[in-house]
A and B are shown apart, each in its own frame.
Chain A
Amino acid sequence: MGSDDQGNNDVGRSGFTRRGFIQIMGTGAVSASLAGAAIAARSKPVPPEKVMDAENTVKISLHVNGAQHAVLVESRWTLLYVLREAFGMTGTKEGCSRGECGACTVLIDGIPRYACMTLAVEAEGRRITTLEGLMSGEQLGPVQNAFLEEDAYQCGYCTPGQIMAVEGLLRKNPTPSLDEIRIGVSGNLCRCGAYTHIFRAAQKAADLKKR
């Protein structure tokens, strides 16, 4: 969330418009829930056999925010690169690109992981959730609203990753203690040092999700 968001007076529990969100959500949102259910039914999704030459692109299908997206990828492209550069989903941020900051955190099968350390082809057959996927139409999700209400950021660059880490934590543990929250976001750095507010936002998000 950048400065434009913080300048918006109409923020709060009711949520607000995130520009550019609609252009991402265009394709295939309807067929998505069916595909999601089929994948969830398998206890341990094992991806299909695959062979890719170096530097040639191969068509794969990624299940992102409830929709199947076909995309041409090189074997060396990370999930982070494909989300941002191929799908235009810039909610997921590139920070260190070496698994040490957490700005690129997404959920894979509901579990937080670093998109910078994940090859796109390795995410085939998995359910990927990005920051954009936490919204319902124009409405922010509960974790996003909690971060706004608790002012849980300064520059905002780490915020999408923090929100995804908290979302993943609450899906697994809806009523975390402060210690569990601290561990839950311990894979996400905030150089502004907004940690106290982030912990508070996580607690508020747990409350908001229960409503």
Chain B
Amino acid sequence: MLPSFSYVRPETVKDTVKHASARGAALHAGGTDLIGCLREGIMDVDKVVSLSALADLYGIRETADDGLTIGALATITEVAENPLVRNKYPGLAQGASEVASPQLRNQGTLGGNLCQKPRCWYYRGEFHCLRKGGDMCYALAGEHQFHAVFGHDRICVITHPSDTAPVLAALGAKLRVAGPDGGKTIAVENLHVPPRDNVLTETVLGPGEVITRIDLPRPAANLKSSYRKVRARRSWDFALAGVALALEMDGDRVENSRVFLSGAAPIPWRSRSVENVIRGRRLDDKTIAEARAAIVENADPLPGNTYKLELFKGVIEEELSAMGRPE
């Protein structure tokens, strides 16, 4: 039995913001992460604020300027199978199709996928770790084979669990957010918070702030996007190492590149070192060899997860080779 909570399902975004601003309130989109967190007792929630009556948060449609707007409540399956997504942003469709299991994709939402709580077993277990307001990160000196190799600063070594966030960040997606101070826009690449800035939260969203839609810019005519996820088994698992690419190509030459990694860091991790290596160059063997080295530049692996560096090298090699091949 879950701990008890009051429940409210408002019909307007304004009422939702008001309810969600209260102390102890938590938003319910698909509920796949929230229900687990409540059952495991890692969140103290007095009030569950359901988004499911908000008609404006559904649907996937093209925008006037040839971009795409996806409702925060679009399910991961809807994103993975939507013809517009598959056609314009294949990397996003790939990322969505790699999430969890079919049932969780049918229930989980794109907005919720961006706002997941970490999957560190100490955080999810009965450890009062740093991220829960305690004194230490247990994974740092403990079991950390699935944990971060970048961006943890040896403070908290979680990896961000989302497969869609790195692709959305690579594609330059922006979030429409409603809140107590009105509406605002946040780029997906600025949504997540590294431990050095604040170890107690995963996103910059404040109390009462609600993602309503995810907007994707018009894809450049020469845009190619992809997402590749390596994991221990083909279902349920989170990424051990993943690479999201959004490349603007001129033949096999890269004009512009955005590269984000999953399974790498406490936030979707931008690999500027790979971007810098491949920009303006043909994706030939020499470039790809340099990208292999670049992807692990400045990595800070822990004793139990150095294997991830080899995974990242292999994934970037395979993904760039595929991108460089003529269609």
Cβ proximity bits A99-125 to B, threshold 8 Å, 1 near / 0 not: 110100100000111101111011000
* Inter-chain contacts of A105 with B (CB < 8 A): 103
* Inter-chain contacts of B234 with A (CB < 8 A): 186
Interchain CB contact under 8 A, A55 and B10: no
Checking B39, B55, B77, B102 against A165 with a beta-carbon cut-off of 8 angstroms, the contacting residue is: B102
Checking A44, A49, A183, A187 against B58 with a beta-carbon cut-off of 8 angstroms, the contacting residue is: A44
A76 to B36, CA, bound (A): 12
* Inter-chain contacts of A154 with B (CB < 8 A): none
Interface range, B side: 35 or more
Interchain CB contact under 8 A, A118 and B235: no
Interchain CB contact under 8 A, B31 and A186: no
Pull 8 A–B residue pairs with CB atoms less than 8 Å apart, ordered by A.
A46-B54, A50-B9, A75-B7, A76-B3, A99-B103, A100-B236, A117-B35, A184-B102
Cβ proximity bits A168-188 to B, threshold 8 Å, 1 near / 0 not: 000000000000000110110
- Quick check: is A52 within 8 A (CB to CB) of the other chain? yes
- Quick check: is A4 within 8 A (CB to CB) of the other chain? no
With A97-B39, A98-B36 given, is the CB distance from A47 to B6 under 8 Å?
no
Interchain CB contact under 8 A, A121 and B7: yes
- Quick check: is A30 within 8 A (CB to CB) of the other chain? no
* Inter-chain contacts of A99 with B (CB < 8 A): 32, 35-36, 101, 103-104
B116 smallest CB distance to A (angstroms): 13
* Inter-chain contacts of B46 with A (CB < 8 A): 54
B144 smallest CB distance to A (angstroms): 21
With A78-B35, A183-B102, A184-B102 given, is the CB distance from A46 to B4 under 8 Å?
no
- Quick check: is B28 within 8 A (CB to CB) of the other chain? yes
Q: A99-B104, A111-B106, A186-B235 are in contact. List 10 more A-B contacts (CB 8 A).
A: A46-B58, A48-B9, A50-B9, A51-B9, A54-B4, A76-B2, A81-B1, A105-B103, A165-B102, A186-B102
Interchain CB contact under 8 A, B5 and A50: no
A121 to B7, CA, bound (A): 9
Interchain CB contact under 8 A, A187 and B7: no
Cβ proximity bits B81-107 to A, threshold 8 Å, 1 near / 0 not: 000000000000000000011111011
* Inter-chain contacts of A112 with B (CB < 8 A): 102-103, 106
Interchain CB contact under 8 A, B5 and A44: no
Interchain CB contact under 8 A, A44 and B59: yes
Checking A81, A113, A184 against B107 with a beta-carbon cut-off of 8 angstroms, the contacting residue is: A113
Interchain CB contact under 8 A, A52 and B50: no
Interchain CB contact under 8 A, A187 and B4: no
Cβ proximity bits A35-73 to B, threshold 8 Å, 1 near / 0 not: 000000000101111111111000000000000000000
Interchain CB contact under 8 A, B102 and A117: no
Interchain CB contact under 8 A, B107 and A114: yes
A165 smallest CB distance to B (angstroms): 7
Identify the 4 closest CB pairs spanning chains A and B, nearest first. Answer: A187-B101, A75-B7, A186-B235, A50-B9
Which among B7, B11, B28, B100 has the highest number of chain A CB atoms within 10 Å? B7
With A47-B52, A98-B36, A186-B235 given, is the CB distance from A52 to B104 under 8 Å?
no
Checking A47, A98, A122, A184 against B39 with a beta-carbon cut-off of 8 angstroms, the contacting residue is: A98
* Inter-chain contacts of A50 with B (CB < 8 A): 7-9, 50, 53
Interchain CB contact under 8 A, A54 and B5: yes
Which among B36, B55, B58, B101 has the highest number of chain A CB atoms within 10 Å? B101
- Quick check: is A167 within 8 A (CB to CB) of the other chain? no
- Quick check: is B210 within 8 A (CB to CB) of the other chain? no
A52 to B43, CA, bound (A): 20
A53 to B4, CA, bound (A): 9
Q: Which of B42-93 contact A (CB under 8 A)?
A: 46, 48, 50, 52-55, 58-59, 77
